[in-house]
């Protein structure tokens, strides 16, 4: 009865959510362990398994609760963008662990109908191992991770901090090296390679950090895979100081247990940049334009108004240090109101993400300095 209710609740939730791929990357990690022994888990696993690319990676933006791309052959689709490949590896290893535990219990209770469960578990483990090897292979010798591999056109080969691609790769490398759940089945040599990959990745982060007058600041969304210089991506994403992605980089660096002096300097430099570049006294004002469209402008807060939080512009110019905003024409402008409607309302130009770093930073300083 419990299993029936679990499956029913799961299917009802999936039906309510629809087929947006984001439901896969958000909801798959939230699945309870019991789910992996259900018929629903088998269906999802088959979707994941048949969609693995020859390289060992997965394409992005597929909701494996519903959709699948059966036996795709275009290896250029392999990516770690939008949590692709990471999500599938974790799902398959969780399924393997659950099936392995079930088999152990079945043997103790003399249950014999375990062949299907064993075969599925082994297939999941094999696919997950291929995915892990893909991650190791895609890492550059300098420690950086591209957004796509082996794709080399335009910005896809750049070292990518955008959408936390590289940070998420390094987090998985560290978890694999430590054999944290669900990575217990990782072989000794693979775990060792993952530990080395993490160390190379941290070294790459430190080398990519943008220096201003010799002082470390923050990072760009993407960096050249050879020179490590800040570089652009889409036409409205110019080389710049980038606030949102830099937050997660700093969090990763602060999570290192015994940071080197270089890591400490990197964190201190980034936090100084965040403190110096906060926008104080501005807020978003929504309105409806003459065409009936929802729009916004940035306005000054009433003097002393406590409701106005500190804000950070997504991009700051590498030369002047001031906020910049850009439409699809690729031209940097000093105010968000000066770019076209579509880009102004189709992109997150301001954020408060760095604010959460400040209390964490104080605790970190007390721990390591």
Is 282 within 8 Å of 251 (Cβ atoms)? Answer: no
pLDDT in the model for residue 116 = 74
| Alpha carbons within 13 A on the beta-carbon side of 141 | 2
Using CA atoms, how far apart are residues 39 and 197, in angstroms rounded to an integer?
37
**Domain 209-369's class?**
mainly alpha
pLDDT in the model for residue 267 = 98
Using CA atoms, how far apart are residues 210 and 161, in angstroms rounded to an integer?
13
Using CA atoms, how far apart are residues 341 and 344, in angstroms rounded to an integer?
5
The reply to whether 2-208 and 209-369 are identical in fold is yes
Check residue 346 and report its DSSP letter: S
Is 328 within 8 Å of 340 (Cβ atoms)? Answer: yes
CATH of domain 2-208: 1.50.10.20
Check residue 354 and report its DSSP letter: G
Structural tokens at position 291: 């065409």
Cβ neighbour number for residue 361 with a 10 Å cutoff:
19
**Domain spans of the chain?**
2-208, 209-369
Scanning the chain, the segments in alpha helix (DSSP H) are 2-17, 22-27, 39-50, 86-108, 115-138, 165-178, 188-208, 243-254, 261-276, 341-345, 357-368
In which residue are the tokens 């007390």 written? 366
Angle at 234 between CA 228 and CA 145, to 5 degrees: 40
Cis peptide before 182 (omega within 30 of 0): yes
pLDDT in the model for residue 298 = 96
Positions of the chain with pLDDT lower than 70, given as ranges? 1-21, 103-114, 304-306
Model pTM score: 0.91
Average pLDDT, the chain: 91
Nearest to 159 by CA among 198, 195, 204, 212: 204
pLDDT in the model for residue 106 = 52
């Amino acid at each position: 009865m419990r299993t029936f209710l679990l499956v029913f609740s799961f299917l009802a939730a999936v039906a309510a959510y629809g087929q947006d791929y984001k439901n896969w990357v958000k909801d798959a990690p939230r699945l309870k362990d019991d789910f992996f022994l259900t018929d629903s888990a088998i269906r999802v696993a088959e979707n994941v398994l048949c969609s693995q690319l020859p390289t060992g990676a997965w394409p992005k933006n597929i909701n494996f609760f519903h959709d699948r791309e059966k036996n795709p052959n275009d290896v250029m689709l392999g990516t770690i963008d939008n949590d692709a490949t990471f999500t599938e590896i974790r799902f398959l290893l969780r399924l393997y662990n659950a099936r392995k535990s079930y088999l152990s219990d079945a043997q103790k209770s003399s249950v014999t109908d375990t062949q299907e469960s064993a075969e599925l578990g082994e297939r999941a483990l094999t696919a997950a191992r291929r995915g892990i090897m893909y991650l190791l292979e895609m890492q550059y010798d300098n420690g950086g991770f591209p957004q796509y591999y082996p794709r080399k056109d335009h910005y896809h080969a750049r070292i990518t901090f955008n959408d936390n691609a590289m940070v998420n790769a390094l987090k998985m490398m560290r978890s694999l090296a430590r054999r944290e759940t669900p990575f217990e089945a990782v072989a000794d040599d693979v775990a060792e390679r993952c530990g080395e990959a993490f160390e190379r990745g941290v070294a790459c982060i430190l080398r990519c950090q943008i220096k201003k007058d010799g002082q470390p600041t923050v990072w760009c969304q993407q960096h050249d895979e050879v020179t490590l210089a800040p570089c652009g991506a889409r036409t409205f994403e110019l080389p710049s100081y980038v606030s949102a992605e830099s937050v997660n980089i700093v969090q990763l660096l602060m999570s290192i247990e015994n940071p080197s002096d270089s890591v400490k300097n990197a964190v201190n430099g980034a936090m100084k940049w965040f403190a110096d570049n906060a926008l104080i006294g501005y807020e978003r004002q929504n309105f409806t334009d003459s065409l009936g469209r929802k729009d916004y402008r940035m306005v000054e807060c009433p003097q002393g108004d406590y409701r106005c939080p500190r804000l950070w512009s997504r991009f700051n110019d590498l030369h002047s240090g001031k906020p910049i905003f850009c439409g699809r024409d690729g031209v940097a402008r000093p105010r968000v109101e000066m770019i076209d409607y579509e880009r102004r309302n189709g992109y997150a130009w301001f954020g408060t993400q760095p604010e959460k770093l400040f209390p964490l930073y104080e605790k970190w300083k007390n721990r390591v300095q």
